[in-house]
Amino acid sequence: MAIKNLDDLRKIKESAKQAMSARHESETRVTVGMGTCGIAAGARAVMTAILDEISKRGIQNVSVTQTGYIEMCRKEPLVDIVRPGEPKVTYGNVKPEDVPRIVSEHLVNGRVLSDLVVAKI
């Protein structure tokens, strides 16, 4: 489609926005805090453990991303999980050995691990 005017550009933007929104509504999102505090507390190892566990289990429709500083240094490493239609859950002080339990209980079975939760929005 050739862009001939500003309205054409707006239509393309709206179409792309709807496509991105639809994609995120159907997948679970996992976000690891990788700011300075998170990295110092072991977030890289947690991120690697999450990616490995998801791959090992062959789990589909999950996107794993990282974010910067979350302003909760005492609780790092932080992991947010958002399942479609559910509130965001933030796990804190996550260790790589916590990851298999988080993946099996929360990602697979939808059960929040209250002992690791630091926020639920």
- Is residue 10 one of the residues assigned to a domain? no
pTM of this structure? 0.78
CATH number at 44 reads 3.40.30.10
Identify the weakest region by mean pLDDT among 4-8, 27-31, 108-112.
4-8
Residue with tokens 């509504």: 25
- What total number of domains does the chain contain? 1
pLDDT 10s digits, 68-77: 987 889 999 9
- Is residue 18 one of the residues assigned to a domain? no
- Is residue 42 one of the residues assigned to a domain? yes
Average pLDDT for 35-48: 95
> Could you list the residue range(s) of the whole structural domain that residue 58 is in?
24-120
- Is residue 6 one of the residues assigned to a domain? no
| CA dihedral of residues 34, 39, 45, 49 (deg, nearest 10) | -20
Average pLDDT for 34-53: 95
Record the tokens describing residue 16, joined without a space. 């792309």
- Is residue 2 one of the residues assigned to a domain? no
